[in-house]
Amino acid sequence: MSTDIILAPSYALSAPQLFTPTAKAAKRVLEFFTAQVNNDHTRRAYLNATRRFSAWCETHGLHELSAVQPFHVAAFVKELQGQFAPPTVKQHLAALRMLFDWLVTGHIIETNPAHAVRGPKYVVKKGKTPVLTAEEARTLLDAIPTDALTGLRDRALIGVMVYTFARVNAVIEMKVKDYFTQGRAVGCACTRRAVRSTRCPAITAWSGSSMITSQPPASPAIPMDRCFGRPGARPARYRPFGNRMSTG
């Protein structure tokens, strides 16, 4: 009786039969989805793309991996364009390109049939994220009370983001030493951009408070743990925005 342990991939990582004609190919595909693709969401999306292409090949009478040609991949991409948005189609094509490349370097197939196939053109000219106007930003900042320390903090946090276009993670991770003054301007090292104190008094009020002047240089410039738990918690990072936007 054999006592050897056989490692088998779970169903979530099982590749379609088209890409696993031999044990060597199956091992190579498994290595691609485990060792090569590290992100869970990307792995799931690439697996879905691989399974969808395998089902398409099965429908069109392609049962051998070596029989797949560039015009097959092009026809598959063309059919996807009538079903999905361009970013989804490009993701499917990227998944096939990377997987076929991995199989080529592993000597499973000779050439990459998806290498020369071009996906749909997709250019983002305008983002979907709404942008506050100057009047809306001023109304939001003026609506935050300044009689409490949390109000000064939230005004500074939102003010830095509005006047420097910095991301919330970059602003929260700034240290006291990252704030600097240049004449009448207050600068933020995370964006390498100075913010005029006359235009954004919220930043000046916070930088001149005791929370900045009395703290060590390596401490957080805008601490979030005083009222909302540890600084690294994602819900804590966005909670001031929901509260201030609802009241403003």
**Spatial CB neighbours of 183, under 8 Å, sequence gap ≥ 6:** none
Domains belonging to the chain, first-starting first, are: 11-105 (1.10.150), 134-247 (1.10.443.10)
List pLDDT tens digits, range 58-71. Answer: 999 999 999 999 99
The per-residue pLDDT for 151 is 78
If you write DSSP's letter for every residue of 115-152 in order, what string do you get? TT---------S-SS----HHHHHHHHHTS--SSHHHH
Residue 191 in this model has a pLDDT that exceeds 80: no
Confidence of residue 131 (pLDDT cuts 50, 70, 90): confident
- Average pLDDT (184-197) is 54
pLDDT at 6 over 50: no
Beta strands in the chain (DSSP E): 179-182, 185-188, 193-196
Of 18, 37, 20, 14, which is closest to residue 76 (Cα–Cα)?
18
List the structure tokens of 66.
């070596």
Could you give the 3-state DSSP secondary structure of residue 10? coil
The mean per-residue pLDDT over the stretch 210-232 comes to 57
State the residue for tokens 């951009």.
Answer: 193
Whole-number pLDDT of residue 215: 66
The three-class DSSP label of residue 44 is: helix
* Average pLDDT score over residue span 97-108: 95
CA distance 115 to 108: 16
- Decide if 59 contacts 72 (C-beta within 8 A): no
User: Mind listing the pLDDT tens digit for each residue in 158-172?
Assistant: 777 777 777 777 777
For residue range 213-223, what is the model confidence (pLDDT) as tens digits? 566 666 666 66
The model's pLDDT over 22-49, given as tens digits with 9 standing for 90+, comes to 999 999 999 999 889 888 899 999 999 9
pLDDT at 15 over 80: no
For 175, residues 6+ apart whose C-beta sits below 8 A from its C-beta are: 217, 218, 219, 220, 221
